[in-house]
Each structure stands twice: as C-alpha cells, then as structure tokens.
Amino acid sequence: MRRGLLLLLSSMFALLGCDFSGSTRADIGRASARIAEVAAAVSGQSAVAADAVSTGHLGFDTSEYPGDAVMQAWHSGGAPYEWTGYYLPSPCHADEGWSGKRDTLTAMGYGLAVVYVGQQTWGRLPGAPHLVPKRITSRVKKRVGRGDARHTIWQTITRTVLHRAPAPAPDARCNADFVTAARGAADGADAGARAQHEGFPRGTTIFLDLERMESVPQSMRDYYKAWVRAVIADGRYRAGIYVHTFNANAVYDDVKDAYRGAGLATEPPFWVAKARGFDITKLPSEVGHAFAAVWQGMLDVKQTWAGHRMPIDVNVSSHKSPSD
C-alpha cells in the first residue's frame, strides 16, 4: 500500500508538471481527495484526519507579468491557483510589469505574495576581487595550400580568458559588492516605499528574496538583518523571507533574533523553496521547517490553462493570500 501511495503521488507530480489544458479545478480537487483516501488507508487515519493534509492553498509565481488577459483566463479557466507572487521593482528585479496590478489582481480573486528581490551573493564573497570570463577575438595570418597554390589567409580566433572584474557601474543597482548592512537598511526602506506606492495596506508581508547560497557570508547576514530591521522600524509592513531550504535554518535564526530585538513576539513569515518531497496535498510546515508559511516545491515548470502557457513555480501556502 505504501508503494501504491508513492506511485499515486508520483502521478500527481507528473500531472502538475505537464499541460493542464484538459483539466479543471474539480479534477485537481478529486485527485487530491483520492490521495487523502489512500493516505488514510496506509496510515490507518480516519478520512477526516487524512483530509486535513489538503488544507493548503496553491499559488504560483512567475518573474514577468503575463498580462491581464492571461491572469484572468487562468483564474477563471480552471487553474487551481488561489494566489500569485507579486514582484515589486527592486534592485535585482528591474522589470516593472507587476506594478499597478494590485487592484486588478485582487479584483480577479487572486491572493498575493509580495516579493522584493534584494542583493545576492551570486556565489561570491561580497567585496572581494574576482575574475570573470571575457571573450577575446583576434585575426592571425595563416599559410595554406601547397606549391604554387600556397597562399596566405586571415583566420579569426576566439578564446575565453579570465579578467579581473571591474567595479560596479555608478548607476548599478544589483551587484554582490552591494551586500552590506548599509545597503540592507536602504533596500528595506525602499521595499516599504514601493509597497506603499503599490497601494498595499498596513500589515502586508513583504518577502525578501534570498537565492540559494552554498555558504552565507557575514556581509549577507548583515544585509538581510538590516533589511528586516528597516522594514520593522518603518512600522507599516511585516518583514518576511523567501529562502532555499539549504539556508533556511540559519537565516531563520538571524531573522527571529531581529524580531526579538525589535520587541516582536510573532513569528517572521518564511517562504521556503525545496523540490524534494513536495506535493500539493502537503502543508508548508511539511517542507521540513516548522516555521515555513509557504512551500515552493516545483520550480520552472510550464503549464497551460485556458489556452495560455507560461513558466511558473508552484507553491502551497497556509493562507489564501500569503502577504495578508
């Protein structure tokens, strides 16, 4: 039976990762219910208890705004998603396609998860000199042919060499060299100002996007802690974090300390990315971090609803609108 459950869950994953054009919201609901039934049979739980694992709220996020028509078609055309990510213009997300769409999306019925993509390390030690690849093209003379037919031609040769990276341009907004406490405070203030400009009410959670890091340098810890403190000090919004499971525990400890330092006893909202073990019937805390309010479990999949196809990440949240 346990093997049967695993096979059924695998089938569900395959469904989510493929074309949904022939499915309906009811289809997804029935599949979820069936998984709950099998889970009950395996675990010995009652059907009511098993159904409790299906109380999460599905959402998706995609970097560029797909357009009003696509968002409306997805919501009314059978897609199972109750909410969507909402990207504020930010240092490492210059696209402004989502700007001005809060009222439009909420009128469609979407809940929202507000995202601010701050500075990233990009695998570097911030501030340290580093090398970057550079392509060099040159033309050289080459003798070809034999005897009387021998002649000279010009040949183009391209090679890649490593050069010391230049300092960030004066107008640069996104660079690993900007991962500092001072920039974290400035970006935190910027996040609050942009959320207000978009019309988000007081108490809205803004999730600072922190991409996966193999190690978290002290300068990055200084950056996101300063960002959190700045959002808290502003007083209008809640500071949340989007983070990969690999870094989640360490980042949570730092952010929780920042909350305590500000006199806040509440839990900081965390959105955790982890592909392994994900399925749509699970709750966010089942990602392996009890503090997770959102679990991003399917990354860079393409789905089609109501004839519109787009690349998305699939998430499950404990709330219909994660930023509320």
Identify the band that residue 147 occupies on the pLDDT scale cut at 50, 70 and 90: confident
Q: Say whether pLDDT at 310 is over 80.
A: yes
For residue 297, the model assigns a pLDDT of 97
Write down the pTM of the prediction: 0.78
Identify the band that residue 140 occupies on the pLDDT scale cut at 50, 70 and 90: confident
Phi-psi region of 292 (alpha: psi -120 to 50; beta: other; left: phi over 0): beta
Q: What is the mean pLDDT of residues 227-250?
A: 98
Superfamily covering domain 57-127+168-277+286-317: Glycosidases (3.20.20.80)
**Residue extents of the structural domains in the chain:** 1-54, 57-127+168-277+286-317, 131-164
d(CA 91, CA 183): 10
Query: Can you state the angle between helices 25-43 and 2-17, rounded to 10 degrees?
Result: 160
User: What is the rounded end-to-end Cα distance, in angstroms, of the chain?
Assistant: 40
Q: Is the distance from CB of 275 to CB of 264 less than 8 angstroms?
A: no
